[in-house]
Amino acid sequence: MSFKTIERQAPVRAYRSKLFVPGSRPELFAKAAAGAADVLCLDIEDAVAPSDKDKARENIVAALNDIDFGGKTVTARINGLDTHWCYRDVIALVERGGERLDAILIPKVGCAADVYAIDVLVTQASQAVGRKKRIGLEVLIETVLGLENIHEIAGASRRLESLHFGSADFAASQRMRTTNIGGANAGYAVLTDKDGDTPRDSHWNDLWHYPIFRMVTACRAHGLTPVDGPFGDYADQDGFRAQATRSAILGCEGKWAIHPSQVALCNEVFTPPQQEVARARAILAAMKDAQAKGLGAVSLDGVLIDAASIRQAETIVAQMALIEARGS
C-alpha cells in the first residue's frame, strides 16, 4: 500500500437505485417516496421543459417541506452552470427546502471550478438560514470535458459524495454516432477472423466501458461513490440487467431508474448475490484459519487465496452490510 491513505468521504449508505422524478410532475412525488428506491432525485434539469423550470423548483421546495420521504436519501438535480436557472435552484433548495434535502446533483460538470462555485453558493445559503445538516454534492460526468478533468473534479470539494455517468449527454458531447441512452449498439462490434467458409461471428462491445471504468477509478481514489446513469429503453429489462451487472462488477454501487419498473432491477443487481457473499465469507474464514497457522497463501476449493483475497472479500461483505442496514 502507498503511505497515502484513501478515506471514504462519501456517507456510508445504500445507493443501489436512484429514481428520477421530474419536478414538473408533483403527482409522482408521493408515489416515489412510497416506492423501494434507495435514493430519489427530484429533477429541475433536463426532465423539465424551460417554461416549467420556476414551477418545478417551487414544487420541489414544497415537497421537501411536506412529503414524508422516510429513510430514503433525497437529492435534487439543479440546472447547469451555463444557465440562469442554476443559482436560483441552489438558493431555493438550500434556503427554503428545510432540512430534508441530502444532496444536490450538479449536471454537466466540466472542471473543478464548477464544483467550487456550487460549494460557495451552498455554503453561503446554508449559513444564511442556519442550516444544520450538511448538504452533499454529487457530480454528473456527461461531457468530454468532465471526463478529461475527472481526477481534479473528484477532489474539488469536501462536500462531494458521488460521481454519476450520463451516457446520453456524454455521447452527444463526444459526437458519438448513437442515439441510445445507455445499452448496446450493434455497430460497435468486432468480427471474428476470416476462416475459409466458416460463418464469422460478430461480438458486440460495450460502448460505455471506458468512461464508466474511468469514473469508478476516480471515485475510489477520492473516497466517493460511483453510480451508473440512465438506461432509456425501460421496456427492455434484460438489456437493463446486463448493463447494470457490468457496472456493478466494475465497482458501481448503483444505477439510475428513469421509470419505477427499473427500481427493483437496480436493487436486485446491486445487491451482491448470495453465493458471492457466501464465497467472500468462506474466504475470510479460510484466511483467518491460514493466518493462525502462519500461512500467507492457501487453497480454497482448489483455488489460490491470499492477503489480496481478504481485501476483495471484505469489499463484498461490507457492501452487503450496508444494504442490510438499509433494511429493504
Binding residues vs Mg ion (CB under 5 A): 142, 166, 169
- Candidates 220, 259, 279, 281: give the one binding ligand COA (CB under 6 A): 259
Residue 141 in contact with ligand COA, rule: CB under 6 A: no
Residue 263 in contact with ligand COA, rule: CB under 6 A: no
Give the span between the Cα atoms of 257 and 26, in whole angstroms.
Answer: 17
Nearer to ligand COA, 165 or 270 (CB): 165
Q: Alpha helices, DSSP H only, in the chain? A: 29-34, 53-66, 86-96, 112-129, 144-148, 150-154, 167-174, 209-222, 237-250, 261-269, 274-292, 307-326
| Residue 45 dihedral angles phi and psi, to the nearest 5° | -90, -115
- Candidates 47, 141, 227, 252: give the one binding ligand COA (CB under 6 A): 47
| Pattern 74-113, ligand COA, x by CB under 6 A | ----------------------------------------
- Candidates 21, 112, 137, 283: give the one binding ligand COA (CB under 6 A): 21
Residue 28 in contact with ligand COA, rule: CB under 6 A: yes
Nearer to ligand COA, 101 or 316 (CB): 101
Nearer to ligand COA, 231 or 270 (CB): 231
For the CB of residue 26, give the shortest distance to ligand COA in the complex, in Å: 11
For the CB of residue 18, give the shortest distance to ligand COA in the complex, in Å: 9
Helix (H, G, I), strand (E, B) or coil at 163: strand
- Return the C-alpha cell found at 216: 469508478
CA distances from 39 to 9, 168, 171, 178, 276 (A): 18, 21, 25, 29, 25
Nearer to Mg ion, 247 or 271 (CB): 247
Give the span between the Cα atoms of 120 and 113, in whole angstroms.
Answer: 10
Residue 180 in contact with ligand COA, rule: CB under 6 A: no
Helix (H, G, I), strand (E, B) or coil at 222: helix
Q: Position of cell 445487491? A: 271
- Return the C-alpha cell found at 324: 442490510
Q: Which stretch binds ligand COA (CB under 6 A): 129-137, 182-190, 218-226, 258-266?
A: 258-266
For every residue of 174-200, DSSP letters joined together read: HT-S---SSS--TTSEEEPPP-TTSPP
Nearer to ligand COA, 11 or 260 (CB): 260
Residue 140 in contact with ligand COA, rule: CB under 6 A: no
Q: Which stretch binds ligand COA (CB under 6 A): 19-27, 88-96, 239-247, 302-310?
A: 19-27
Is the CB of residue 137 less than 8 Å from the CB of residue 122? yes
Helix (H, G, I), strand (E, B) or coil at 298: strand
Is the CB of residue 255 less than 8 Å from the CB of residue 220? no
Q: Which residues are near ligand COA by CB under 6 A?
A: 19-22, 28, 31-32, 43, 46-47, 230, 258-260
